Structure 1
């Protein structure tokens, strides 16, 4: 059979039409007759959308998360739950235990001594839910030689002894773990497709050749059917064949901001290499530092801010004036908004994960998950952008709520143009398509899991 005819699809939230797909692209839209040899799919009036793009996630971390022990909410919320989870956990083939999602509300600050009390029968490492911090127990510290480590992310006590806490040292830690193949990305590709995600931007910084090559291999082999855009390809390294290369990821870590001159030089280097930058900013201080560095280094079209977790009102027009894009994650409000409202000063609450004010100021705005550190489901993120409700039902920043259609559009721009014009189902466009069970108005009235009925990527069913 050649070609595909999608019958009776709802387009643009109202028009009912047929859509013909040929050679991976949309060939025709209208009242169409089936051609000989053409497959046919009855959409039954469900909304047919362009495929969604998650503009910021971490593919290998998502795959590893699936085989890790949950150490934080919602699965684990207190000491008893943490003890039970670690007691029941099975280490990997090398005897190591990997935990994820820990947060201080579970059992307080976690260091090696605390983790030893929960798990000491072998080496263990537990990642904070932010993704920025690993805590190692004493057997793990001994195994990786933490006492003699010179990485700046190694936290030490007043006597110079390591506490077991490692800040933003993923690459260093990985190099000292027992050798292991990259995690299988096929389950991730399947999960993404079920949610209607046909393209992703992997925002992992400083991808080594092995990690980038594994993503490229998953694309070539079909394990990962999505189109993939990479931010972490080094400036001086070859681009892997298959994924597209995006802006250069720069992390302005809240655990230790870069020196001003070094940051400005790095921005210049990225721009000189023909790449925009994608700057991780989750604090006000990081945002101010970035803007000052851009004033010196200059702005390149495509420069973007990742997260923008706290944006003071007076900086909104500054972002617009610089032509900067924002890729943000309001899903965090639905996931942990009560913690933000408890821990941040009241004056900062309106600045949390701004959406509406950025869009109104003309800042190109894209939504994303930051999965596995935030909720992966785009429909949950869309609902969070619309309602901004915390788990306890409070509204975090009511003036920042987006209209449902606007929130959906923030998932519909292509990976290379986050916040740009949303894709539409039109002749000539790539046949990356998502069919919903219901019309668009019904879906947007209550975005929820299970809306997606069928997905095509390049005209192929997934």
Structure 2
């Protein structure tokens, strides 16, 4: 038999309990064919890669990221690294100087939590932009700032800034003047002007984002919300994913989630139950190994960073502030059940524990009434969660998707808002494993750094920026963190039969590393370097490091014995 590829001289961490470590790997037709085949019976290979002792692991799978948002951020003014508001104004001014007078200055990545809660001043933004409209997207994705010029444009379109907004807030100063801060659903005021994005722009964003993913060893991503709501960029957004794939711009496997707002009532026979979905009955699971529709993304509350997540006990230092739901509780339940009936698995954003209560109740009702689906139902984040909620999540087979790198970047601010008791179980990991629940790897990029090896280090260390341990009982081992980002993520996305482990029949998605992240000190996990990334048996990053030799095993070259 002539096979496509032999990888030899590697330390392969398979994530398969039956054969946890191997030294060689045969790949054919984009899939793993065999491991550690006896040298005397190795089939002839078209190509041979000598890994030179590198560690090989399954490709990393980020089950909660925002690729278009991330890619657009690579194209927009970056405020993620500014040290002060003064620096932010200077960056805005520099960007504005190259724009026409009526063009918008669009910036990304600003985090008030990293600036002691400070928000950009609308008047200073007016001056910095030279009278151009400014739109600053917060890193949390749950708020933005606009300047006075932008507010004038919003009003000119007929918006009433004084009118209440369901699930959103237009912030005002003591005199009642809008400050330019728009929270949650209030962001639609500016999005109604700026959206939808051209499909070509979305394709370009996907190209930039997925090309970057390869450099970090990411081979699969679940995009947590497209095509609707305040997180979508076009009603035709999934079409941009398809076009990007057709044009070769989609470098990794994608599982986009439709936002609930993109679904609508679909008529059918009188005997069919009321349902919410897409025309023709399109639902979760449509697609192939490269591009497949995931669950429906449903927002129940806001963000912990913005103190808008819905919690049962008020935030420390914020009297009477419990956050809020983004829609009426009855509407949340009924719309989620309608989508589930139509065949959509649920992925419900719930950060505060009160929102988590709603999510558990809705998902368990859906499962008990209509049965379980091939993809597991999920709760995204779980920033504030109680032990009895974890018991219910595990018992119901729900996947909780936490982001440990939030701790590394925002942990001090979050701990201050929550107090010690709630911080102890915030963004849990070990508690899920102890209960036998699935723990996946995720980042919520670009809200937070999405490099998997850095997130794994956060899983293990749970250190805040000041060096405090955030919920020490929730620490896990390096081996558990690697498993989460590979096999755990596969289980969370319903793809455990095709990816997440290196064993016969699995997709040949894998990463070459310079060291074993499960065997180094926790502080050195993030220092692990990605040498190369393979998707479907093809090295798509780092090919120059591991060039494939055609048809010969380098170990046998000196004797002239051909790989057979």
Same fold flag (TM > 0.5): yes
Q: Which residue of 1 aligns with 2:525?
A: 447
Q: What is the DSSP-based 3-state SS (H/G/I as helix, E as strand, rest coil) of the residue aligned with 1:164?
A: strand
Q: What is the DSSP-based 3-state SS (H/G/I as helix, E as strand, rest coil) of the residue aligned with 2:424?
A: helix
Q: Does 1:431 align with 2:431?
A: no
Q: Does 1:399 align with 2:473?
A: yes
Q: Which residue of 2 aligns with 1:191?
A: 212
**1:226 shift after superposition:** 0.8
Q: Which residue of 2 aligns with 1:252?
A: 300
Q: Which residue of 2 aligns with 1:168?
A: 184
Matches within 5 A, 1:229-308: 229-232=255-258, 234-235=262-263, 236-237=277-278, 243-254=291-302, 255=308, 256-257=324-325, 258-294=327-363, 296-298=365-367, 300-301=372-373, 302-308=376-382
Q: What is the DSSP-based 3-state SS (H/G/I as helix, E as strand, rest coil) of the residue aligned with 1:417?
A: helix
Q: Which residue of 2 aligns with 1:370?
A: 444
Structure with max Cα Rg: 2
Q: Which residue of 2 aligns with 1:89?
A: 95
Q: Which residue of 1 aligns with 2:5?
A: 4
Q: Deviations over 1:64-101 (max 9, x none)?
A: 111222334xx223233223322322466762111222
Which structure 2 segments of 5+ residues have no match? 15-19, 264-276, 303-307, 309-323, 541-564
CA contact (8 A) 2:478 2:518 kept: no
CA contact (8 A) 1:59 1:188 kept: yes
Q: What is the DSSP-based 3-state SS (H/G/I as helix, E as strand, rest coil) of the residue aligned with 2:444?
A: coil
**1:145 shift after superposition:** 3.8
| Cα distance in 1, alignment partners of residues 255 and 520 from structure 2 | 28
Matches within 5 A, 1:4-403: 4-12=5-13, 15-30=21-36, 31-32=38-39, 38-72=46-80, 75-90=81-96, 95-104=103-112, 105-106=114-115, 108-110=118-120, 112-113=122-123, 115-116=125-126, 118-145=128-155, 148-149=158-159, 152=166, 153=168, 155=170, 157=172, 162-169=178-185, 173-177=190-194, 180=198, 181-183=200-202, 184=204, 185-205=206-226, 206=228, 207=232, 208-232=234-258, 234-235=262-263, 236-237=277-278, 243-254=291-302, 255=308, 256-257=324-325, 258-294=327-363, 296-298=365-367, 300-301=372-373, 302-403=376-477
CA contact (8 A) 1:10 1:47 kept: yes
| Cα distance in 2, alignment partners of residues 360 and 128 from structure 1 | 35
**1:115 shift after superposition:** 3.7
Q: What is the DSSP-based 3-state SS (H/G/I as helix, E as strand, rest coil) of the residue aligned with 1:351?
A: coil
How many residues are matched?
460
Q: Deviations over 1:130-184 (max 9, x none)?
A: 1111211122223344672266446164998754333334666444128644241
Tell me how large the CA RMSD over aligned residues is: 2.9
| Cα distance in 1, alignment partners of residues 22 and 361 from structure 2 | 50
Q: What is the DSSP-based 3-state SS (H/G/I as helix, E as strand, rest coil) of the residue aligned with 2:360?
A: helix
| Cα distance in 2, alignment partners of residues 387 and 275 from structure 1 | 36
| Cα distance in 2, alignment partners of residues 252 and 274 from structure 1 | 20
Q: What is the DSSP-based 3-state SS (H/G/I as helix, E as strand, rest coil) of the residue aligned with 2:526?
A: coil
Moved more, 390-399 or 14-23: 14-23
CA contact (8 A) 1:246 1:416 kept: no
CA contact (8 A) 1:45 1:438 kept: no
Shift in CA distance, 228/419, structure 1 to aligned 2, threshold 3 Å: closer
Moved more, 306-315 or 199-208: 199-208
Shift in CA distance, 128/28, structure 1 to aligned 2, threshold 3 Å: same
| Cα distance in 2, alignment partners of residues 401 and 419 from structure 1 | 23
**1:450 shift after superposition:** 5.2
Q: Deviations over 1:49-71 (max 9, x none)?
A: 11110000001100111122233
Shift in CA distance, 118/203, structure 1 to aligned 2, threshold 3 Å: same
**1:197 shift after superposition:** 0.5
Q: What is the DSSP-based 3-state SS (H/G/I as helix, E as strand, rest coil) of the residue aligned with 2:9?
A: strand
| Cα distance in 2, alignment partners of residues 114 and 303 from structure 1 | 45
**1:336 shift after superposition:** 1.3
